[in-house]
Structure 1
Amino acid sequence: MLGITVASLTKTTTTDDLFLIPEGFEGDIQVNYNVAGAPRLAKEGKYDVIPIREDGTYDTSNPDMEYGTVTDQYFYVGQDGMRTPIPENCIHVKGNGASEIGSNITRHQYLKVTRTTCSENFRVWEEETDGAR
């Protein structure tokens, strides 16, 4: 007799991430999950706080990202700690991936932020306003 088991990896229906990006940053962002020795994500209300480093990366020991409807918020953070919201048309959500070393699986979340080519095309397709890729 064959038995089938269906298990849900996560019950999250919204992503609820709060990205804190260094003021003036423009380029690719990579968040790495399940990184041994890295800090767990702090919480602000229902949001997981992801403080991006100057090089556009952040590592956390949280085993995985949340999945579902994207409800993320994005802010530039100045040296004084002041937050400035980043318009949605300046953020391109590139997707997710994973890498494996031995039995350790590290999950990756990829974004791109721009200050100079904000547009609906950038948000959806990551196209520059002059059509370059």
Structure 2
Amino acid sequence: MLIFKLKTALYASLIFTLGFWLLGLVQEGEIFFSFILVIMFLYCLFGTVIYGVPVSILSDYLTKKLVQWRFAAAGFIHTILGAATYLIMEGLAFFALLAAVIFFMVDEWRKWDREMPAGKIAAMNAAAFLLAGLLPMGILWMQGKAEMEEKTIDLYLIPKGYVGQVTIMHEFEYAPEPETEGKYDVFSVNNKGYAVTALPPSEGLIEDLYYFVDEKGKREEIPERCIEVGGTGSTMGDGYEYSYTQFTVGCSENINQEDLYYLNEGPSVEDILYEEGVFDREEYQFVPKE
């Protein structure tokens, strides 16, 4: 049985990869070959062998006493456990589920000599399988689309005349109560170039607002060309763990030679934590995010 299932995994992986090759052919309008297809095939084969084969063996065991509804029950087991990969690899769950459906169909095709239901029962089996496969696929597709369309809604208030790197330290349990303006979370950056907040980092397409603020509270919107989005990271030590985001403020026409020396400097994460009294410098440990 194991050899049979391994061959099924190989055939399913080839069909999975061929499908994406055909999709690329339709979109590009010409025959192509890419190393990405090889990587895709190997990833699919690895997943179907490590996860798909055990699931298929479990499905055969659980449905071996069924006759009329074996096909639908086996399809449900394959698809529901394929969809369960969302808990492990959220971003690739849709493709894992697609591979699970292909694996199941290839497995059933290779066992076609087994007694299959006919007539009305066959139609109901097919409908049940389509529901079991298409429903979770649709849910995962909509979830992925919603995540892609998610946008950040942060508003940054920066001291007028500040030029350089800005760091926002997130998930500070003792930070001031977060402020909001409409749908925007407000972050007030101090003269040293940083702010602390209890909020986690925002995720999604960046559509933030940036303002210079003078001593009287008058705002002046900062053009997008004057903002350079930086990276994200995390830092931890004895009894604490925080994440941070960074960006740089500065328009080329407003930066003189003296300012260039300070540009992108700003306070370091270590300096901020020391300034906030979180740790002693000798205990510091920095862990960047990939």
User: 2-side partners of 1:78 and 1:42: how far apart?
Assistant: 19
The equivalent of 2:227 in structure 1 is: 91
RMSD: 2.3
TM-aligned CA deviation for residue 32 of structure 1 = 0.2
The answer on 1:72 being equivalent to 2:208 is yes
Which letter maps to 1:46? K
Which letter maps to 1:105? E
TM-aligned CA deviation for residue 100 of structure 1 = 1.7
The equivalent of 2:157 in structure 1 is: 20
For 1:80, what is the secondary structure of its paired residue? coil
User: 2-side partners of 1:69 and 1:89: how far apart?
Assistant: 17
User: 2-side partners of 1:101 and 1:36: how far apart?
Assistant: 15
Map 1:7-46; keep pairs closer than 5 Å. 13-46=150-183
Consecutive unaligned residues of structure 2, counting only runs of 5 or more, are 1-53, 56-83, 91-146, 254-259, 261-290
The equivalent of 1:131 in structure 2 is: none
Which letter maps to 1:19? Y
Of the three residues 159, 180, 185, the one matched with 1:48 is 185
TM-aligned CA deviation for residue 65 of structure 1 = 1.2
For 1:61, what is the secondary structure of its paired residue? coil
Return the structure number with greater helix share.
Answer: 2
Q: Which has the larger radius of gyration?
A: 2
Which letter maps to 1:85? E
Which letter maps to 1:17? D
Q: Number of paired residues? A: 115
Deviations 1:63-107 (A, max 9, x none): x11100101000000111110010111110012111122463201
Of the three residues 233, 236, 249, the one matched with 1:113 is 249
Return the structure number with greater strand share.
Answer: 1
Deviations 1:23-48 (A, max 9, x none): 11001100000113111321100000
TM-score norm. by structure 1 comes to 0.76
The percent identity for this pair of structures is: 29
For 2:205, what is the secondary structure of its paired residue? coil
